[in-house]
Amino acid sequence: MVEISEVITDEYAIYNMDCVEGMKNMPDDSVDLSMYSPPFGGLYHYSSDERDLSNNNDYKGFFDHYEFVVKELARITKPGRLTAVHCMDIPSGNSGCDHLIDFQGDIIRLHEKLGFHFKDRYAIWKEPLAVRNRTMMKNLAHQTIVQDATLSANAGGDYVLVFRNSGKNEVPVTNPTGLQNYAGRREIPSELYSYKNWTGKQTENRYSHWIWRNYASCFWDDIRIERVLPFKAARDSDDEKHVHPLQLDVIERITVLYSNPGETVLTPFMGVGSEVYIPTKLGRKGVGFELKKSYFKQAIQNMESVNEADIIDDMFDGVENEI
């Protein structure tokens, strides 16, 4: 039996292959939006495949490899359209004497070198105890401040860096009746629901204004960390660690803010399918590349449920998982 290496439907296309090789097959100016989490520059190891961006000898090697990815993204992204990169600052070790590596700064400099313009930065809050319990970082332990607080650290946030490709955007992203759905933890005030789908003057659309104030904040402290696609079955024995998939709230916000229905949304590092799942669910054309077979198999299963109403929200509603 031939192993499936791609799944192509009218709604999405996902491929089990190296993303640089896959993007080389795509036409110039064919993508409206891209979003992804790159392997975190030596912090996590996903596989032993030499094509795996996480499998480099050192930090410089990672960025030499990553440059091929960003070059292809610049070529296939339409003029004036956006790419969003989920990242974090990387610690050099696991003690208070270690320093942070400015991973996001290096990502910004690489994109600017290749023709992108740095547009926005969003910070995503993480609960310190949950981070400590998951990572067992010594500098997040309470005992550290008892013994020597100079060796302690904070639970650094995640970041979404947004870049605009060179050129003029010819197709505006519009929301004629404002934002329709809120992806986040807070409760929308009940008196605002009468303004949903407001067709009058949008200055009066209090429902959409409330959502926009949350989205326009540079500090997203209302992301439901537990709202992710199923992923644990995708872990292989050669994984050093597995990063929690990007939260669906984050993906939903990026999709709605930066693309129109019917447009093409790409992720070069698909993982278990999150950045294809949400755009497809929201009426976009999702495209994803994933090198690791176990992740790709899980992505197939996740995408098969894309048309099931609220399956992920029902699964994770009110459940606190690891960060």
Q: What is the pLDDT of residues 234-285, one digit of tens each?
A: 455 555 455 568 999 999 999 999 999 999 999 999 999 999 999 999 999 9
The predicted structure's pLDDT at residue 10: 96
The predicted structure's pLDDT at residue 137: 82
CA distances from 248 to 56, 146, 201, 241, 276 (A): 29, 37, 31, 21, 11
Confidence class of residue 314 from pLDDT cuts 50, 70 and 90? Answer: very low
Confidence class of residue 46 from pLDDT cuts 50, 70 and 90? Answer: low
Confidence class of residue 99 from pLDDT cuts 50, 70 and 90? Answer: confident
Residue pointed to by tokens 């606190």:
320
> Rounded distance, CA 258 to CA 275, Å?
13
CB count in 10 Å sphere of residue 37? 22
Residue 14: pLDDT over 80? yes
The predicted structure's pLDDT at residue 317: 44
**Of 89 and 189, more confident:** 189
Nearest to 86 by CA among 129, 34, 153: 34
Residue 216: pLDDT over 70? yes
Written as six digits, the tokens of 178 are 């404002």
Give the highest mean pLDDT range of 40-54, 237-251, 280-294: 280-294
The predicted structure's pLDDT at residue 45: 52
Residue 98: pLDDT over 80? no
**Contacts (Cβ under 8 Å, ≥6 apart) of 103:** 40, 41, 87, 88, 89, 90
Alpha-carbon torsion (36, 7, 77, 183), positive or negative:
negative
Write down all domains in the chain, each with its CATH number in brackets. 6-316 (3.40.50.150)
> Rounded distance, CA 73 to CA 165, Å?
9
Range in 44-48, 59-63, 297-301 the model is least confident about? 44-48
Range in 51-55, 84-88, 229-233 the model is least confident about? 51-55
Residue 309: pLDDT over 50? yes
The predicted structure's pLDDT at residue 70: 98
Residue 313: pLDDT over 60? no
Q: Mean pLDDT over residues 93-98, rounded? A: 57
Contact by Cβ (8 Å): 109, 142: no
Residue 186: pLDDT over 80? yes
Q: HSE of 21 in the Cβ direction (CA atoms, 13 Å)? A: 8
The predicted structure's pLDDT at residue 53: 60
The predicted structure's pLDDT at residue 165: 98
Mean of all residue pLDDT scores within the chain: 87
Residue 315: pLDDT over 90? no
Q: Mean pLDDT over residues 185-208, rounded? A: 96
Residue 312: pLDDT over 80? no
Q: Mean pLDDT over residues 314-322, rounded? A: 40
User: Per-residue pLDDT tens for 102-128?
Assistant: 999 999 999 999 999 999 999 999 989
Range in 11-25, 131-145, 179-193 the model is least confident about? 131-145
Range in 60-74, 79-93, 108-122, 279-293 the model is least confident about? 79-93
